Amino acid sequence: MEDDLVKTERLQLADEVEPTPGSAWLIGLAAWFVPGLGHLLLRRWWRALLMGGAVWVCFFVGMAMGGHLFDLYAEGSSVLLQIPPMIANVGTGILYGVSWMFDYGFRDDPAQAARATYEYGNTFLLIAGLLNYLNMLDAFDVAAGRKP
């Protein structure tokens, strides 16, 4: 009996949940594509500057340190191993896209890999993408009215 009541309450709550507006999905997409753009479109200037800026700084610092971007092309290692870091890198949106178009940062260069900052650079590039996924989710939540 009690279980039935709980189920009924849940169904009622599910009916009361407002549908996510289409604009929220677009804002989320924009936030992923250009880091900071989602919050800019929402007029959250400080969040755009801080959260988007952190991603841009992280990416360029990673590049300056000689970091390596991942794609599905693998020399001497399994393609499957490339997928998780690639997903993280793809989080930077247009930054990854432009680098991919110009083939910048993807090649396995032994001289680059020998740099002391190589692994730090890789980490910064991975973190840039992952932070931008958080930015994207935050922008989506704000656009959907789930966050102030």
Sites of contact with another protein (CB under 8 A): 46-47, 50-51, 54-55, 57-58, 61, 123-124, 127, 131, 134-135, 138, 148
Q: In this complex, which beta carbon is closest to another protein, that of residue 86 or of residue 139? A: 139
Q: Is the dihedral of CA 39, 43, 47, 51 positive or negative?
A: positive
Half-sphere exposure of 99 (CA within 13 A, CB side): 23
Q: In this complex, which beta carbon is closest to another protein, that of residue 29 or of residue 61? A: 61
CB of 100 to another protein, least distance (A): 23
CB of 112 to another protein, least distance (A): 20
Nearest of 51, 52, 47, 21 to residue 35 by alpha carbon: 52
Q: In this complex, which beta carbon is closest to another protein, that of residue 83 or of residue 134? A: 134
- The residue ranges of DSSP E strands in the chain, in sequence order, are none
Nearest of 60, 84, 55 to residue 72 by alpha carbon: 84
Label residue 35 left, alpha or beta by phi (over 0 means left) and psi (-120 to 50 means alpha).
beta
- Tokens 């794609």 found at: 71
CB of 42 to another protein, least distance (A): 13
Q: In this complex, which beta carbon is closest to another protein, that of residue 39 or of residue 71? A: 39
CB of 97 to another protein, least distance (A): 21
